[in-house]
Amino acid sequence: MILLKNLFKNIFVMYKMNNKYKEKFIQMKTERREKKRTNKRSITGEEVIFIFEKVLEGWKTIRIYNTIIQSNPTSGLNKKKTETIATGNCKVYPSELPRERYDYYTDLRAKVYNYYNTFLTPLPS
């Protein structure tokens, strides 16, 4: 009986330790993924917000691209990325922006999605 009790105790301690390391592993994994995707995007969160604002104002993507390149020639933006981001397909992480700007970004992103869903929806016959 005592051996069985000790066995369960050891199993519980091992499970608790594994769960602790698993949580740490998941946190490290999400940080790596966020860093990798941010570097791959190669533009800042503020530039993404700028693109979203201009899309909602009705600007063409080439005009948005030219404006960003003229104001910041070292930006890693290209025409294809501008088109992709203009559809709302771009993730900015909360660690990149202050809280108020991140909330503003999420609102803009929802508006851009709605804009493209209504814009691309076929008209009823």
Please give the average per-residue pLDDT across 35-40, as a whole number: 86
Radius of gyration of the chain (CA): 23
For residues 33 and 85, state if they share a domain.
no
Number of domains present in the structure of the chain: 2
Task: Dig out the tokens for 18 from the structure.
Answer: 């594994």
Task: Dig out the tokens for 90 from the structure.
Answer: 């771009």
How many C-beta atoms surround the C-beta of residue 9 within 10 A? Answer: 10
For residues 28 and 69, state if they share a domain.
no
Specify the pTM: 0.73
∠ CA(57), CA(62), CA(66), 5° rounding? 95
Asked if the model's pLDDT at residue 11 lies above 90, the reply is no
Contact (Cβ atoms closer than 8 angstroms) between residue 25 and residue 74: no
For residues 27 and 85, state if they share a domain.
no
Give SS3 for 44: coil
For residues 112 and 87, state if they share a domain.
yes
Q: What is the domain extent for residue 119?
A: 43-125
Q: What is the pLDDT of residues 104-120, one digit of tens each?
A: 999 999 999 888 877 66
For residues 11 and 30, state if they share a domain.
yes
The residues near 61 (Cβ < 8 Å, ≥ 6 apart) are: 55, 79, 82, 83, 86
For residues 95 and 116, state if they share a domain.
yes
For residues 104 and 116, state if they share a domain.
yes
Look at residue 123 in the predicted model and tell me its pLDDT. 45
For residues 76 and 124, state if they share a domain.
yes
Q: What is the pLDDT of residues 77-92, one digit of tens each?
A: 889 989 989 888 888 9
Look at residue 120 in the predicted model and tell me its pLDDT. 61
For residues 36 and 49, state if they share a domain.
no
